[in-house]
Amino acid sequence: MITNTELEYKGDLYPNQIVDFLQDVDKLYFTSENGVVLQITVLRNSALRFRYATNYTFQPDFSYAISEVGLRGYDKLDVSETDTEYLVETIRMKVLVDKKTMRVQISDPDGQIINEDEIGFHWEENYQYGGNTVKMSKITQSGESFYGMGDKATHSNLKGKRISNWVTDQYAYGKDQDPLYKAIPFYVGLTNGKAYGIFFDNTFKTHFDFAHERRNATSFWADGGEMNYYFIYGPDMKKVVRLYTDLTGKPELPPLWALGYQQSKWSYFPESNVKEIAKKFRDLKIPCDAIYLDIDYMDGFRCFTWDKERFPDPKRMIGELEEDGFKTVVMIDPGIKVDRDYWVYQEAMENDYFCKRGDGPYMSGKVWPGQCHFPDFTNPEVRAWWAELYKEFMAEMGVHAVWNDMNEPAVMEVPSKTAPLDTRHDYEGNSCTHRKAHNVYGMQMVRATYAGVKKHTYPKRPFVITRAAYAGTQRYACTWTGDNVATWEHLWLANVQMQRMCMSGYSFVGSDIGGFAEQPNGELFARWIQLGIFHPFCRVHSSGDHGDQEPWSFDTDVTDIVRKFIELRYQLLPYLYTMFYEYSKGGIAMLKSLVMFDQEDPQTHYRTDEFIFGDQILVCPVQEPNAQGRRMYIPRGKWYNYWNDELFEGGKEKWVAADIDSIPLFVKAGAIIPKYPVQQYIGEKEIDKLILEVYFKDGVENSTVYEDGADGYDYTKGRYSLRNFKLVGKEKQLSIQQYKDGTFITPYGSMEIKLHGLPFQIDGIEIDNEKVDLKDVKRNGNDSIEVDKDFTTLHITGK
């Protein structure tokens, strides 16, 4: 008997009438007649989780993205019911669940809609792979804007864009090319002056349409897995980002040297070349803290080995570089060469640590060493083994930090650029294919690297860099934006990408300054340095195929400009370190797009160039050749031109002069900016004085300065110094109050307070109620006063 066994194509499927409701403490379950279950978990007053199951069955509840600390705790949870809907209330939100369609509407306590389902949840059966393609569509409100989504080479505002997340090795990518090296499926919506965030925690390939296909709809979907997303309400955008970062995890403080300038190239070899580069930095007095060794330090590109001809005694070399103030950073890739005489390969084979294809053979692909196998980093046992491989490098040879590259994983000479989709992974005991594990592969590699580096550099702090990342990778490593190009367009992209990453919870980020592919001219390199010193991770890196890219590789004028700005970064290190403290402690983004700084000003919603460095410095790079300045938007408030102290009223566009040796740079009125003296490397000098650049304001402004031992973990036991300053300015007086927390004793005994923009002539000074002789006031362009570092109140009066 012959029957028709062809599968029926059902198309999109939808929940129908809700027939059951159950509450289990903070979890609410709504079940439809056709077997869809919506689980709403109340995490915080302003944070909810939405999960949808089909056929009554949820998948195992596991996430690589969510921090173990996470978001927990709320003050109120009330659930009520009408004939047509359920109402869920916290003190910050109201959620309506429609009984007929299971569609959701979220509003603030006053009833103003923040976010609303359009079609809402729906799904389509995947007959090729099994499971479902899961989908969600939301109503796009009038004037709504969208931001975030990690590393996307496109305009800051994603309105009208369609993008996807599939971690991809994208050499020399162009503007609007997608996807790139990272998958961070988190966006911030801004509607009617109020911000919210949605994090779609699904590691399959995901897609987002921000009113691209239909102007009134924003949608996101995944090729498999579960519809599982978190909703975070601000209404302040900074709070949304802070709560998302809290949800996915904050990094610990890096060693201070990791915030210094770093030099890299593919590749510095042999040892004599490395030493020559290091000597040139010191001879030219250009500050630098780290030199990178790319893959050519290895024996035939085998990880955890050294080429003994190029580097006959790496331990000695690393030690000698350290004596000159240079930390050594080495690259490690995931591809392990298929070589029976190679000890790392032997161990992995003996313990069955390599990934396998669907039918059993090892997953194999070509990378730099040739044919390679790839460890399954989603297996905890493999991660523990990988962490121990760093012992010789870190504990015995003295390597200071590790750089994980090619960890998408990148595979050469195949159209997909990565592992076949049938490759199997352990996934913490939840066995799956590469369709699910691909986006977290690099994250789990760097997680293992972080564990190994942390263990074997103890009691120092670890520093790890990664190219590939999924949401939450900020817990383990800093990152950069991959293989960019030495063009003016990529200078613009680097600026936008940094802002976007910081808005996506990942602040320790930088670009290959000057471009990885091709070579910049001197002007482009100088302009890129001027931007790069204001990025949290500051590194020059290039392919080496197109010429040298060290600071002295152009003419002496460019060298002098580069030195000037690298020195500025070293002066601003206490400000930058304070930014990182606030990021690691509170999840506060280190760079802020103007819309994040002032979302109530509609002029900020489409700005891409200007950004806030920390909370009080406004930066706007010059991004065109032959420019002697540029037009820029100065946000609302009062701002001082950093170079000449000219005071501007913000909220308007302005032409700002900036010849090749300058960049538009402004300081917020009322700010107190801490500075160190210029050092050639962190630790070269004992800081004998902290400089405080004080910018007058008619009003009140708070500033902080965080310091500790610059490395190690004593800060976790209270051995830190957190100085809180309150500035109060009036017509003819200025006062600064200081409150200090922590037990760390800073090496300096005094502070030099440099006053900017005083609208009066100083007539009297009191420090902790004691008068100061005005003869002690230095007048070098600006008034400056030297005070004991532990002063409580400084009061200045004028006439």
Chain-centre distance for alpha carbon 516:
20
Residues 207-231 as b/e (b if ≥16 CB within 10 A, e otherwise) read bbbbbbeeeebbbbbbbbbbbbbbb
Q: What is the dihedral of CA 615, 616, 622, 623, to 10 degrees?
A: 10
Tell me if residue 522 falls in helix, strand or coil: helix
Tokens of 591: 């760079």
- Assess whether 483 carries a catalytic annotation: yes
Q: Quick check: 480 and 538 in contact, CB under 8 A? A: no
Distance, C-alpha 722 to centroid of its chain: 24
Rg (CA), the chain: 28
Phi, psi of 395 (to 5 degrees): -80, -30
Query: By 3-state DSSP, what share of the chain in percent is helix, strand and coil, each rounded to 5?
Result: 20, 35, 45
Strand ranges, E, within 54-150: 78-81, 85-89, 94-98, 104-107, 113-125, 132-139, 145-148
The whole-angstrom separation of Cα 75 and Cα 109 is: 14
DSSP 8-state class, residue 395:
I
Kindly state the helix (H) or strand (E) to which residue 706 belongs, with its residue range.
Answer: strand 699-707
**Nearby residues of 731 by Cβ (< 8 Å), 6 or more positions away:** 698, 759, 760
- Which DSSP state fits 157? S
Contacts of 125 (CB under 8 A, 6+ apart): 10, 13, 132, 133
d(CA 165, CA 225): 14
Give the containing element (helix H, strand E) for 383.
helix 380-388
Catalytic-role residue among 108, 408, 615, 783? 408
Asked if 408 is an active-site residue, the reply is yes
Distance CA 250, CA 443 (A): 15
**Choosing from 151, 405, 615, 693, which is the catalytic residue?**
405
Residue 294, C-beta contacts closer than 8 angstroms, at least 6 positions apart: 264, 265, 266, 267, 268, 331
Q: What is the 3-state secondary structure (H, E, C) of 562-585?
A: HHHHHHHHHHCHHHHHHHHHHHHH
Rounded Cα distance between 535 and 538, Å, is 6
**CA gap 444, 706 in Å, rounded:** 31
Secondary structure element (H or E) that encloses residue 465, with its range? strand 464-466
Q: 172: which 2 tokens?
A: 């020399």
Rounded CA gap, 454 and 528, in Å? 32
* Cα(64)–Cα(441) distance, integer angstroms: 10
Residues 6+ apart with CB under 8 A from 774: 762, 764, 765
Cα three-residue angle 337-341-347, rounded to 5 degrees: 70
CA 5 to chain centre: 51
Which member of 223, 376, 483, 550 is catalytic?
Answer: 483
Active site residues: 405, 408, 483
